């Protein structure tokens, strides 16, 4: 039997006040919990000594750090030299304290010495087939829940295991809605073993049915939050919409219902044309929007076609206006109002309750509603929404709008990358702009991460591909070169379920978030998120909006844990596919090391996994 655990649990919320409850600005509907009250109770519980959203523990041999997002709990481990000797991995026991459920977790990697011919998709208890990593995440957590984790080091041999001293920790996941900010990420990992196992790689029978089981699994609360935001708007209040792709029936029907209950609804939407072989034609989005608007029965009086733009009107925000300042709110993010936006590619919806911020968005929206031409709109943005100079003031939310007079913001973004001291996490759907790429080439002694829709082109690969401190991943299915074509030489079908994407039409299938995180684990993180793709075109030619959020550690924790979830999901697939291309059977993708040989790279200073561990344990002597 393992020795009794030595336990230390310290919650860290870093002095952040979450909400003022008089009056409650959430106005929860009957039968639904007040999200702000819930967040305040979380804060009160923490001050009373309950576990927080960040926690740490040690037992002399192991150190453990937990960071909770809303749907993810990230666990990072460190170990002394003595504890690493003969270490085969870690068994993990998870306890859902609210439901009083406790069980040992399972995984897909196993000892070949014990199970030489595993079945595809089979899972094995970590008590017998431990996790060989010093970083692990629970992706099944629920928002606003207390969880306990027991980590048990495993020693011996695959057929004769023995166990070391346990270490335990408790942590509370973030509520998605704190009152000031509400952040919702969809699943964003369709091509996965979980999707293959649960749904056989088949999409929803009716993607327009928000109650469909598959729809709800893929949405993971993102669609529900958007529909709730619209449904919560009261008669006499206003909704101001700016939409590029505006064709998802549940959203259009929700707006039609709001109009019918005497909400003042006005919708700016893409209705422009493009040149195709010398002819002017409606864009694909224009055609899809027109058909969906007609089917939903939205009255012409509330529609404001956007036609006089230079490129695409790429916004996806909804502004709620009210005589009650506490009811004023902004819904924004990367999510187009389409089925693929909510259910397919990775996306975020970000709700902010801030009267001053809403006023700035309203002024911008009114310019869009007037169908302002490109040049005068650029001039207005330049005068009313100047680019920041130097660092942002601490504790602020800064909006950025496009089209802008120039692309100087790229240099400002690059300077933020250069100013990072711990890590950078960046998503790019269509590649890395040259100005930002240059900032990433500058040598640092910590890890930075880039997550892409597609592999880097040849020029960018030469520039960025040789830095071991720059970790790059792109969207991919296990064993697939493209959405349909298998990787030549792929031999892992015997161990893994076939993965696939249920959607084969469109431009973006995996990564659609537009995120730049600067030192998200620090006490002063910078979160940049919105609709724009960090490109010259998005700054100068498109209608776009972005939020720059400095110093909000709760928002940073949610974004960081979700970025890490998606990055590691695709990084594994990239590595496995590359091994197959090189002729490897890829046994390391499924079989565990029967010795402690896997440990070394986690503690060799120049290695990626060692630097990743030091990100969470910067003061570690190991």
* pLDDT value of residue 26: 40
**Which pLDDT score is estimated for 245?**
98
Please choose, from the candidates 216, 295, 291, 219, the residue with its C-alpha nearest in 3D space to the C-alpha of residue 256.
295
Mean pLDDT of the chain: 90
Residues 169 and 251 in one domain: no
Identify the band that residue 40 occupies on the pLDDT scale cut at 50, 70 and 90.
very low
**Residue 268 pLDDT > 90:** yes
- For the chain, what percent of residues have pLDDT higher than 90? 76
Q: Are 511 and 364 in a shared domain?
A: yes
Whether residue 617 has pLDDT greater than 90: yes
The full DSSP string for 525-594 is -EEEEES--SSHHHHHTSBEEEEEEES-HHHHHHHHHHHHHHHHHHHHHHHHHHHHHTT---GGGTBPPS
Closest CA to 60 of 41, 72, 78, 48: 78
Q: How many helices (H) and strands (E) does the chain have?
A: 16, 28
Same domain? 420 vs 291: yes
Residue 146 and residue 87 share a domain = yes
Reported as a pLDDT band with limits 50, 70 and 90, residue 492 is: low
Whether residue 408 is predicted with pLDDT greater than 50 in this model: the reply is: yes
Residue 605 lies inside a defined structural domain of this protein? no
Enclosing H/E stretch for 437: helix 434-441
Q: What angle do CA 415, 378, 511 make, to 5 degrees?
A: 55
Give me the number of domains the chain comprises: 2
Give the whole-angstrom CA distance, residue 486 versus residue 533. 29
Residue 448 lies in a domain: yes
Q: Which of 177, 199, 215 is the last residue of a domain?
A: 177
pLDDT at 503 over 90: no
Same domain, 429 and 373: yes
Residue range 147-163: average pLDDT? 99
The pLDDT of residue 51: 58
Q: Which of 44-53, 270-279, 438-447 has the lowest mean pLDDT?
A: 44-53
Q: Which residue among 177, 205, 231 closes a domain?
A: 177
CATH number of the domain bearing residue 30: 2.60.40.10
Which DSSP state fits 401? E
Task: Determine, yes or no, domain membership for 592.
Answer: no
Which residues, listed in sequence order, are joined to residue 402 by a DSSP beta bridge?
544
Same domain, 232 and 377: yes
Residue 621 lies in a domain: no
Q: 108 and 222 share a domain?
A: no
pLDDT at residue 2 tops 80: no
235-265 pLDDT, tens digit per residue, is: 999 999 999 999 999 999 999 999 999 999 9
Q: What is the pLDDT of residues 317-329, one digit of tens each?
A: 999 999 999 999 9
Q: What is the pLDDT of residue 484?
A: 65
Residue 511: band (very low, low, confident or very high) from pLDDT cuts 50, 70, 90: very high
pLDDT for 504 equals 63
CATH code of residue 278? 3.30.870.10
Asked whether residue 313 carries a pLDDT value surpassing 90, the answer given is yes
- Do 195 and 135 lie in a common domain? no
Comparing 337 with 429, the larger pLDDT belongs to 337
Report the pLDDT value the prediction gives residue 381, as an integer from 0 to 100: 99
Task: State residue 529's pLDDT score.
Answer: 99
Residue 8 CB: number of other CB atoms within 10 A?
Answer: 14
Note the pLDDT of residue 33. 40
Among residues 398, 249, 265, which one has the least CA distance to residue 320? Answer: 265
With CA atoms as reference, report the closest residue to 436 among 543, 511, 546, 535. Answer: 535
Residue 44 predicted with pLDDT over 90: no
500 vs 372, higher pLDDT? 372
- The verdict on 269 and 323 lying in the same domain is yes
Assigned domain for 152 exists? yes
- 291 and 381, same domain (yes or no): yes
Q: Are residues 149 and 52 in the same domain?
A: yes
Contacts of 366 (CB under 8 A, 6+ apart): none
Asked if the structure places residue 390 within a domain, the reply is yes
Smallest CA-to-CA distance from 519 within 570, 571, 559, 566 is with 559
Q: Which of 538, 556, 576 is the last residue of a domain?
A: 576
Report if residue 593 sits inside a domain: no
Q: What is the mean pLDDT of residues 490-513?
A: 76
Domain span holding position 88: 10-177
pLDDT at 514: 98
Residue 601 lies in a domain: no
Greatest mean pLDDT among 29-43, 182-196, 296-310: 296-310
Note the pLDDT tens digit of each residue in 572-605. 889 888 888 887 776 778 999 999 999 999 999 9
**If you ran DSSP here, which 8-state letter would residue 508 be given?**
-
Q: What is the pLDDT of residues 423-467, one digit of tens each?
A: 999 998 888 999 999 999 999 999 999 999 988 888 888 899 889
Same domain, 227 and 154: no
């Amino acid at each position: 039997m393992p020795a009794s655990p030595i336990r230390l649990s310290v919650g860290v919320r870093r002095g952040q006040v979450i909400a003022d409850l008089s009056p409650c600005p959430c106005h929860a509907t009957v039968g639904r919990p007040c999200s702000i009250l819930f967040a305040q109770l979380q804060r009160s519980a923490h001050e009373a000594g309950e576990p927080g959203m960040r926690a740490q523990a040690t037992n002399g041999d192991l150190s453990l750090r937990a960071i909770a997002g809303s749907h993810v709990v990230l666990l990072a481990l460190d170990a002394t030299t003595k504890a690493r000797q003969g270490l085969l991995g870690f068994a993990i026991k998870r306890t859902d304290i609210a439901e009083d459920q406790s069980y040992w977790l399972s995984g897909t990697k196993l000892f070949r010495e014990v199970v030489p011919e595993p079945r595809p998709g089979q899972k094995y208890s970590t008590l017998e087939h431990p996790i060989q990593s010093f970083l692990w995440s629970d992706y099944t957590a629920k928002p606003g829940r207390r969880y306990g984790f027991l980590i048990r080091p495993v020693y011996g041999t695959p057929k004769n295991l023995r166990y070391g001293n346990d270490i335990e920790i408790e942590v509370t996941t973030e509520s998605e809605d704190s009152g000031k900010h509400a952040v919702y990420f969809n699943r964003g990992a369709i091509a996965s073993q979980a999707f293959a196992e649960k749904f056989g790689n088949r999409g929803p029978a009716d993607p327009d049915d928000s109650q469909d089981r598959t729809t709800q699994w893929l949405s993971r609360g993102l669609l529900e939050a958007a529909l709730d935001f619209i449904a919560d708007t009261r008669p006499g209040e206003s909704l101001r919409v700016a939409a590029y792709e505006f064709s998802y029936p549940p959203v259009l029907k929700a707006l039609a219902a709001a109009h019918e209950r005497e909400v003042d609804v006005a919708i700016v939407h893409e209705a422009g044309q493009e040149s195709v072989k010398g002819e002017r034609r409606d864009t694909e989005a224009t055609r899809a929007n027109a058909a969906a608007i007609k089917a939903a029965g939205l009255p012409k009086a509330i529609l404001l076609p956007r036609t006089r733009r230079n490129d695409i009107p790429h916004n996806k925000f909804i502004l709620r206006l009210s005589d009650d300042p506490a009811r004023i709110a902004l819904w924004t993010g990367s999510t187009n109002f389409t089925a693929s936006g909510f259910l397919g590619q990775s996306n975020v919806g970000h709700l902010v309750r801030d009267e001053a911020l809403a006023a700035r968005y309203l002024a911008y929206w009114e310019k869009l509603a007037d169908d302002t031409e490109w040049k005068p709109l650029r001039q207005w943005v330049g005068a009313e929404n100047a680019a920041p100079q130097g660092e942002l003031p601490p504790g602020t939310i800064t909006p950025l709008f496009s089209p802008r007079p120039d692309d100087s913001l790229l240099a400002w973004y690059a300077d933020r990358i250069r100013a990072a001291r711990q890590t950078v996490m960046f998503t790019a759907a269509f590649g890395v702009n040259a100005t930002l790429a240059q900032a990433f080439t500058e040598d640092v002694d910590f890890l930075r991460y880039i997550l892409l829709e597609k592999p880097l082109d040849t020029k960018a690969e030469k520039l960025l591909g040789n830095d071991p401190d720059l970790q790059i991943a792109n969207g991919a299915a296990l064993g697939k070169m493209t959405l349909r074509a298998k990787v030549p030489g792929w031999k892992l079908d015997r161990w893994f379920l076939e993965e696939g994407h249920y959607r084969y039409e469109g431009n973006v299938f995996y990564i659609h978030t537009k995120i730049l995180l600067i030192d998200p684990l620090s006490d002063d993180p910078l979160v940049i998120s919105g609709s724009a793709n960090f490109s010259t075109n998005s700054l100068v030619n498109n209608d776009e909006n972005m939020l720059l959020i400095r110093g909000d550690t709760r928002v940073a924790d949610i974004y960081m844990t979700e970025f890490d979830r998606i990055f590691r999901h695709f990084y594994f697939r990239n590595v496995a596919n590359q091994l197959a291309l090189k002729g490897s059977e890829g046994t390391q993708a499924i079989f565990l090391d029967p010795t402690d040989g896997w440990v070394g790279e986690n503690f060799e200073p120049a290695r990626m996994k060692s630097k990743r561990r030091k990100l969470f344990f910067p003061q570690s002597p190991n």
